[in-house]
Structure 1
Amino acid sequence: MSHIALYRSWRPQMFKDMVGQQHIIQTLQNAIREQRVSHAYLFNGPRGTGKTTTAKVLAKAVNCMHGPAIEPCNACATCIGITEGHIMDVVEIDAASNRGIDEIRDIRDKVRYAPTEVRYKVYIIDEVHMLTAEAFNALLKTLEEPPAHVIFILATTEPHKLPATIISRCQRFDFRQVSTEEQVARLREICQEEGIEATDEALSYIARLSEGGMRDAISLLEQTSAFANRQITLEAAVDVTGGIAAEQFYELAEAIQHKNAASMLSLVESLMQAGKSPDKCLENLMYYFRDLLVLKLANGGDTATERIVDAERFRAMASAYSADELFRMIEILNHYQQELKHAAQPQTLLEVALLKLCASSDGGAQRAAEAGSEEIAQLRQQVQQLESQLAKLLKQGIVAAPAQQQQERQAPRRSFAASGINRPKVKLDRFISALQGQETQEARMKWGDIMMRVKDRKVTVQAWLKDSELVAAVEGQLLLTFKNDMHREMTERPSHREIIEQVASEVMNRPYQLVTVMLKDWQAAVDGNQEPAVESLELEPEHIAGPEANIGNNQNGNNQPEWIEEAYKLFGEELVVVKE
Structure 2
Amino acid sequence: MSYQALYRVWRPQRFDEIVGQSIITRTLKNALITKQISHAYLFTGPRGTGKTSAAKIFAKAVNCHYLKDGEPCNQCETCKAINEGSLNDVIEIDAASNNGVEEIRDIRDKAKYAPTQADYKVYIIDEVHMLSTGAFNALLKTLEEPPANVIFILATTEPHKIPATIISRTQKFDFKRIKPTDILERMAYILQQKHVDYDDRALKLIAKAAEGGMRDALSILDQAMSYGDNQITYENALLVTGSVTNELLTKYMQQVHQQDTKNALLTVQKILDEGKDASRFVEDLTSYCQDVLLYQQDPQMVEEMELGVIDDEFKQISTEISDSDIYQIINELNDISNSLRYTAHPDVYLEVLTVKITHLDEKKPAATTIQTAAQQAVPAPNVERTIQQLTNQVNQLQEEIDTLKKSTTNAMPKSSASADSAATKPLARTKATVAEHVELAKIYPILGSATRKQLNQFKEVWPDLMNTLTVTQRAVMHVSKPVAASAKGVIVSFDYAFLYQKAQGDTELRDALENNLDRIVGKTPEIVFVPENQWPQIRKDYLANHKDQLASSKKAGQDADPKADESAGSDEPPIVKKAAELFGKEILDIKND
Secondary structure at 2:350's aligned position in 1? Answer: helix
Query: How many Å separate the matches in 2 of 1:255 and 1:44?
Result: 43
Query: Structure 2: which amino acid aligns with 1:187?
Result: M
Which residue matches 2:234? 234
Bigger mean CA offset, 284-293 vs 255-264: 255-264
Secondary structure at 2:407's aligned position in 1? Answer: coil
CA contact (8 A) 1:62 1:69 kept: no
CA contact (8 A) 2:21 2:176 kept: yes
1:344 Cα deviation from its structure 2 partner = 4.3
Query: How many Å separate the matches in 2 of 1:277 and 1:25?
Result: 38
1:362 Cα deviation from its structure 2 partner = 6.5
Query: Structure 2: which amino acid aligns with 1:7?
Result: Y
Query: How many Å separate the matches in 1 of 2:361 and 2:307?
Result: 23
Query: Structure 2: which amino acid aligns with 1:316?
Result: Q
1:139 Cα deviation from its structure 2 partner = 0.9
Query: How many Å separate the matches in 2 of 1:105 and 1:66?
Result: 34
1:322 Cα deviation from its structure 2 partner = 1.4
Query: How many Å separate the matches in 1 of 2:333 and 2:8?
Result: 38
Q: Determine if the alignment matches structure 1 residue 121 to structure 2 residue 121.
A: yes
1:116 Cα deviation from its structure 2 partner = 0.8
Query: How many Å separate the matches in 1 of 2:284 and 2:411?
Result: 45
Alignment of 1:183-194 (within 5 A): 183-194=183-194
Q: Percent identity?
A: 44
1:307 Cα deviation from its structure 2 partner = 7.1
Query: Structure 1: which amino acid aligns with 2:27?
Result: T
CA contact (8 A) 1:43 1:173 kept: yes
Which residue matches 1:214? 214
Alignment of 1:516-535 (within 5 A): none
Query: How many Å separate the matches in 1 of 2:65 and 2:215?
Result: 29
CA contact (8 A) 2:90 2:122 kept: yes
Query: How many Å separate the matches in 1 of 2:291 and 2:3?
Result: 31
1:251 Cα deviation from its structure 2 partner = 3.0
CA contact (8 A) 2:180 2:307 kept: no
1:291 Cα deviation from its structure 2 partner = 1.6
Which residue matches 1:80? 80
1:71 Cα deviation from its structure 2 partner = 1.2
Query: How many Å separate the matches in 2 of 1:218 and 1:256?
Result: 35
1:55 Cα deviation from its structure 2 partner = 0.2
Q: Taking structure 1 as reference, are residues 314 and 129 closer, same or farther at Cα in structure 2, changes over 3 Å only?
A: same
CA contact (8 A) 2:15 2:71 kept: yes
Query: Structure 1: which amino acid aligns with 2:268?
Result: V
Which residue matches 1:311? 311
Q: Taking structure 1 as reference, are residues 251 and 3 closer, same or farther at Cα in structure 2, changes over 3 Å only?
A: farther
Q: Taking structure 1 as reference, are residues 262 and 307 closer, same or farther at Cα in structure 2, changes over 3 Å only?
A: farther
Q: Taking structure 1 as reference, are residues 287 and 431 closer, same or farther at Cα in structure 2, changes over 3 Å only?
A: farther
Which residue matches 1:203? 203
1:90 Cα deviation from its structure 2 partner = 0.6
Query: How many Å separate the matches in 1 of 2:85 and 2:305?
Result: 45
Which residue matches 1:427? 407
Bigger mean CA offset, 305-314 vs 285-294: 305-314
Secondary structure at 1:36's aligned position in 2? Answer: coil
CA contact (8 A) 1:257 1:321 kept: yes
Q: Determine if the alignment matches structure 1 residue 94 to structure 2 residue 106.
A: no
1:359-379 deviation line (CA, Å, top 9, x unaligned): 32569xxxxx989835989xx
Bigger mean CA offset, 27-36 vs 46-55: 27-36
Query: How many Å separate the matches in 2 of 1:349 and 1:308?
Result: 32
1:357 Cα deviation from its structure 2 partner = 1.3
Which structure has the greater CA radius of gyration? 1
1:344-392 deviation line (CA, Å, top 9, x unaligned): 43332233223221232569xxxxx989835989xx99xx99xx9xxxx
Query: Structure 1: which amino acid aligns with 2:132?
Result: T
Query: How many Å separate the matches in 1 of 2:375 and 2:411?
Result: 32
Alignment of 1:58-69 (within 5 A): 58-67=58-67
CA contact (8 A) 2:303 2:310 kept: no
CA contact (8 A) 1:61 1:69 kept: no
Which residue matches 2:104? 104
Q: Taking structure 1 as reference, are residues 319 and 114 closer, same or farther at Cα in structure 2, changes over 3 Å only?
A: same
1:125 Cα deviation from its structure 2 partner = 0.7
Query: How many Å separate the matches in 1 of 2:310 and 2:102?
Result: 59
Name structure 2 gaps, 5 residues minimum.
Answer: 377-382, 392-403, 417-421, 431-593
Secondary structure at 2:229's aligned position in 1? Answer: coil
1:335 Cα deviation from its structure 2 partner = 2.3
Alignment of 1:165-564 (within 5 A): 165-303=165-303, 306=306, 309=309, 311-361=311-361, 373=372, 426-428=406-408
Higher helix share: 2
Secondary structure at 2:41's aligned position in 1? Answer: strand
Q: Taking structure 1 as reference, are residues 307 and 288 closer, same or farther at Cα in structure 2, changes over 3 Å only?
A: farther
Secondary structure at 1:292's aligned position in 2? Answer: helix
CA contact (8 A) 2:38 2:171 kept: yes
Query: Structure 2: which amino acid aligns with 1:17?
Result: E
1:86 Cα deviation from its structure 2 partner = 0.5
CA contact (8 A) 1:32 1:62 kept: yes
Secondary structure at 1:293's aligned position in 2? Answer: helix
Which residue matches 1:150? 150
Query: How many Å separate the matches in 2 of 1:181 and 1:350?
Result: 32
Secondary structure at 2:124's aligned position in 1? Answer: strand
1:143 Cα deviation from its structure 2 partner = 0.6
Query: Structure 2: which amino acid aligns with 1:373?
Result: T
1:2 Cα deviation from its structure 2 partner = 9.0
Secondary structure at 1:98's aligned position in 2? Answer: coil
Secondary structure at 1:61's aligned position in 2? Answer: helix
1:422-444 deviation line (CA, Å, top 9, x unaligned): xx964328999999xxxxx9xx9
1:146 Cα deviation from its structure 2 partner = 0.5
1:50 Cα deviation from its structure 2 partner = 0.5
Secondary structure at 1:91's aligned position in 2? Answer: strand
1:299 Cα deviation from its structure 2 partner = 4.8
Query: How many Å separate the matches in 1 of 2:117 and 2:340?
Result: 53
Q: Taking structure 1 as reference, are residues 30 and 431 closer, same or farther at Cα in structure 2, changes over 3 Å only?
A: farther
Query: How many Å separate the matches in 1 of 2:370 and 2:319?
Result: 19
Which residue matches 2:455? none
CA contact (8 A) 1:198 1:233 kept: yes
Q: Taking structure 1 as reference, are residues 373 and 356 closer, same or farther at Cα in structure 2, changes over 3 Å only?
A: closer
Which residue matches 1:162? 162
1:327 Cα deviation from its structure 2 partner = 1.1
CA contact (8 A) 2:291 2:302 kept: no
Q: Taking structure 1 as reference, are residues 242 and 434 closer, same or farther at Cα in structure 2, changes over 3 Å only?
A: farther
1:236 Cα deviation from its structure 2 partner = 2.3
Query: How many Å separate the matches in 1 of 2:235 and 2:312?
Result: 20
CA contact (8 A) 1:2 1:222 kept: no
1:313 Cα deviation from its structure 2 partner = 1.1
Bigger mean CA offset, 247-256 vs 2-11: 2-11
Secondary structure at 1:427's aligned position in 2? Answer: helix
Query: Structure 2: which amino acid aligns with 1:169?
Result: R
CA contact (8 A) 2:59 2:90 kept: yes
Q: Taking structure 1 as reference, are residues 5 and 124 closer, same or farther at Cα in structure 2, changes over 3 Å only?
A: same
Q: Taking structure 1 as reference, are residues 168 and 371 closer, same or farther at Cα in structure 2, changes over 3 Å only?
A: farther
Normalised TM-score (structure 2): 0.61
1:48 Cα deviation from its structure 2 partner = 0.7
Query: How many Å separate the matches in 2 of 1:95 and 1:32?
Result: 27
Query: How many Å separate the matches in 2 of 1:144 and 1:28?
Result: 21
Bigger mean CA offset, 304-313 vs 350-359: 304-313
Query: Structure 2: which amino acid aligns with 1:296?
Result: Q
1:315 Cα deviation from its structure 2 partner = 1.6
Which residue matches 2:12? 12
1:3 Cα deviation from its structure 2 partner = 8.6
Query: How many Å separate the matches in 2 of 1:86 and 1:171?
Result: 27
Aligned-residue Cα RMSD (Å) equals 3.7
